[in-house]
A and B are shown apart, each in its own frame.
Chain A
Amino acid sequence: MSLDAIPIHVIDPPSAEPGLSGNAPPLLRELSELAKRLLASGETSAIDLSALPLTPADLAWLQDTLGAGEISVSLQANGESTLNETACPGIWWVTHRNEQGAVTSQFIEVAFVPELVKAHPEDVKNGQEYLELLISDL
C-alpha cells in the first residue's frame, strides 16, 4: 500500500489568523509612563502579556516596533528563558519557556536590570564559600 492511500492531507495553517486588534499601540504609552516612573523613583514594573487580549499579530507588531537592543540574556532554568533589551534601554522583553520549548509566560519588564538577572546575596554567599573551598584545596 502506498502512502497516498492514507487519506491525510497536510494543510497549511488557516490563514484566517486574527490580525491586529488595535490593543498593542496603547501599550507603548503605558511603557513610556513606566519608564518615566523608573527614572523618577527607581521603581521597576512589568506588563504580563498573557493577561492582555493580544493576538499573535499584535505581539509580533509590538516586538517589531520595540526593536532589538544591545543586550540579550538567556537563562537555562527548567527550559530556556530569554531576557532581551529592546531598542529602548530599560525596556526588556522577557519570555519564559518550559523544557519542551513552549512559551509559559511572557512579560515586558521596565527596569535597569531585570530582577532575574541579578544574583541573590544568598547565592553570592554560597559562591564565595565555594571559592574558599577551592582556595583551601590549592
Chain B
Amino acid sequence: MQGPLIDTLARQGITRRTFLKYCATLASMMALPPAAGRAMAEAMAAARRPSVIWLPFQECTGCTESITRSHSPTLEGMIFDMISLDYQETLMAAAGHQAEEARHAAMKENAGKYLLVVDGSIPLGRDGAYSCIGGRSNVDILKEAAEGAAAIVAMGSCASYGGIPKANPNPTGAVSVSDIVTNKPIVNIPGCPPIPVVMTGVLAHYLTFGSLPELDEKGRPKAFFGETIHDRCYRRPFYDQGKFAKTFDDEGARMGWCLFELGCKGPVTYNACATVKWNGGTSWPVESGHGCLGCSEPDFWDAGGFYKALSVPADPLRIGAAAAIAGAGAGVAVSFANRAKKNVARQTHETLTVEDLEK
C-alpha cells in the first residue's frame, strides 16, 4: 500500500481527471494560482504517504465525524489514502495494547517525520487525570508524541484554543495544544467542527511544497481564515442597507435580511463557511436562517451569548480582548499532591491509579 497515491485512488475508481479537477478546485479555494493545481496533482499523485498519528483527547469526536462523514463517499475522505493513518483510536481496528503498540511502532519508525493530528483539548487539572488513555494522561501522551513530530495539526477549536472544555469555569483545566507544545510548527484548524476541506488543503500543501501553509496570528491557514464570515456573507447587502431580522419569524427573517441583531457573530469570525459551505456545498448556517456562533474563534462559548447582538459597530478587538482576560482568569488547577510519584510514573509510563491521584 506504499505506492503512489494515484494508484490507490485508481483502485477506488477515482480517475486521474477527477483528481485533477479536485486539485484545481482545492488550489482555487486556497487562493493559489491555477498552475498550482496541476503542480499539486502531480506532486500528490506521486507522493509517498506520510505517516500520520491522530490523537483524540478531551473531545466529542465531532471533528472526526466532520472529516470522515461529511458527505459520503467524499474525495476529502478518500484523500485520507494519501496518508498512512497509523493511529486513530476511533477508526483503527486494533484496540488496547495492540493499539498502543501501533502508535509506538509508528513513532519509532518515522521519528522526526510524522504528522501529528490532535483533536480535543488537554486537561491539566489534577495532573491530567481527567482524560487518560491506557492509564496515561493526555498531556503526557501529547508531549511524547510531539517530540518526534515534523509538525502538528490542531484539529478543531478544542485542540486549537481549548474549546468547549475550556469554557468558564473550565473545571478540568483544559488548554490547547500550543499551550503545551512550543517547539514544533503547529497549524490550528479551528471550528466546531472544522471544515473538512481545510484539513485536506493543509495536507495537500504539506505534500506538495513540503511545508505548512501561511498562518495568521492565531495559527490558522490564511487561505481559509483570511476573511470573516461577514466579509463573504451573501446577506451582506442587507447589513449595509440596515435591513435586519428582529426575530426568527418576522417579515425580515422571511425576506432573508441580515441576522446581526439576532446575535450573528459573522463580523468577528474568521472562517470559510460563507464560501465553502457545509454538507458538500449544500448550505451553511446563515443560509439556513441562523446567525454564526463564532465557533472558529478562541473562547466563542464565553463570548457573551449566541443571541446577543455584538455591540455596534462591530469591533473585532473587543471579543479578542475579553477572551484574553477570560483565558487568563480561568486558570489551571494543577494538583501538587503526590507529585514526585506521579512524575516518576510518567517518565516510566507506569500506569497510574485513581488512588495514586487522590493521595
Say whether B18 contacts A16, CB under 8 Å: no
Prevailing SS type, chain A contact patch: mixed
| Residues 50-69 of chain A, each 1 if its beta carbon lies under 8 Å from chain B, else 0 | 11000000000000000000
Instruction: Say if the beta carbon of A48 comes within 8 Å of chain B.
Output: yes
| Residues 273-285 of chain B, each 1 if its beta carbon lies under 8 Å from chain A, else 0 | 0000100111000
Instruction: Say if the beta carbon of B135 comes within 8 Å of chain A.
Output: no
Enumerate chain B residues within 8 angstroms of A45, measured Cβ to Cβ.
34-35
A8 to B28, CA, bound (A): 38
Say whether A107 contacts B281, CB under 8 Å: no
Say whether A81 contacts B21, CB under 8 Å: yes
A7 to B237, CA, bound (A): 25
Q: Which of B15, B16, B25, B255 contacts A96 (CB 8 A)?
A: B25
Instruction: Say if the beta carbon of B75 comes within 8 Å of chain A.
Output: yes
Distance in Å: Cβ of A69 to nearest Cβ of chain B: 20
Enumerate chain B residues within 8 angstroms of A115, measured Cβ to Cβ.
20, 38
Enumerate chain A residues within 8 angstroms of B18, measured Cβ to Cβ.
77-78
A66-115: which residues lie under 8 A (CB-CB) from chain B? 75, 77-78, 81, 96, 98-100, 102, 104-105, 107, 109, 115
Q: With contacts defined as CB atoms under 8 Å apart, how many contacts are there between chain A and chain B in the complex?
A: 71
Say whether A50 contacts B22, CB under 8 Å: no
A110 to B27, CA, bound (A): 18
Q: Which of A50, A75, A123 contacts B21 (CB 8 A)?
A: A75
Q: A14-B237, A98-B280, A100-B280 are in contact. Are A105 and B25 (CB under 8 A)?
A: yes
Q: Which of A48, A81, A102, A120 contacts B281 (CB 8 A)?
A: A102
Chain B residue total in the interface (Cβ 8 A) = 31
A96 to B34, CA, bound (A): 13
Enumerate chain A residues within 8 angstroms of B282, measured Cβ to Cβ.
100, 102
Instruction: Say if the beta carbon of B33 comes within 8 Å of chain A.
Output: yes
Q: Which of A16, A48, A99 contacts B280 (CB 8 A)?
A: A99
| Residues 2-30 of chain A, each 1 if its beta carbon lies under 8 Å from chain B, else 0 | 00000111010010101000000000000
Q: Which of B27, B28, B75 contacts A78 (CB 8 A)?
A: B75
Instruction: Say if the beta carbon of B62 comes within 8 Å of chain A.
Output: no
Say whether A78 contacts B16, CB under 8 Å: no
Say whether B280 contacts A96, CB under 8 Å: no
Q: Which of A16, A98, A120, A123 contacts B237 (CB 8 A)?
A: A16
Instruction: Say if the beta carbon of B17 comes within 8 Å of chain A.
Output: yes
Enumerate chain A residues within 8 angstroms of B38, measured Cβ to Cβ.
115
Enumerate chain B residues within 8 angstroms of A11, measured Cβ to Cβ.
254-256
Instruction: Say if the beta carbon of A46 comes within 8 Å of chain B.
Output: yes
Say whether A9 contacts B17, CB under 8 Å: no
A116 to B24, CA, bound (A): 10
A54 to B36, CA, bound (A): 22
Which chain B residue shows the least CB distance to A50?
Answer: B28
Q: Which of B24, B31, B75 contacts A107 (CB 8 A)?
A: B24
A7 to B33, CA, bound (A): 48
Enumerate chain A residues within 8 angstroms of B254, measured Cβ to Cβ.
8-9, 11
Say whether A105 contacts B256, CB under 8 Å: no
Q: Which of A18, A75, A98 contacts B17 (CB 8 A)?
A: A75
| Residues 1-28 of chain B, each 1 if its beta carbon lies under 8 Å from chain A, else 0 | 0000010000000111110111011011
Instruction: Say if the beta carbon of A132 comes within 8 Å of chain B.
Output: no
Which chain B residue shows the least CB distance to A99?
Answer: B280
Give 18 new A-B contacts, CB below 8 A, not counting A11-B254, A46-B34, A51-B28: A7-B249, A9-B254, A11-B256, A16-B241, A45-B34, A45-B35, A47-B34, A48-B27, A48-B28, A48-B33, A77-B15, A77-B21, A99-B280, A102-B281, A107-B24, A115-B20, A116-B21, A122-B6
Which residues of chain B have a CB within 8 Å of any CB of chain A? 6, 14-18, 20-22, 24-25, 27-29, 31, 33-35, 38, 75, 237-238, 241, 249, 254-256, 277, 280-282
Q: List 10 A-B contacts (CB under 8 A).
A: A16-B241, A45-B34, A46-B34, A46-B35, A48-B28, A75-B17, A77-B15, A78-B22, A102-B282, A105-B24
Which residues of chain A have a CB within 8 Å of any CB of chain B? 7-9, 11, 14, 16, 18, 45-48, 50-51, 75, 77-78, 81, 96, 98-100, 102, 104-105, 107, 109, 115-116, 120, 122-123
The 8 closest A-B CB pairs, nearest first, are A46-B34, A77-B18, A105-B28, A105-B25, A102-B281, A104-B25, A78-B18, A77-B17
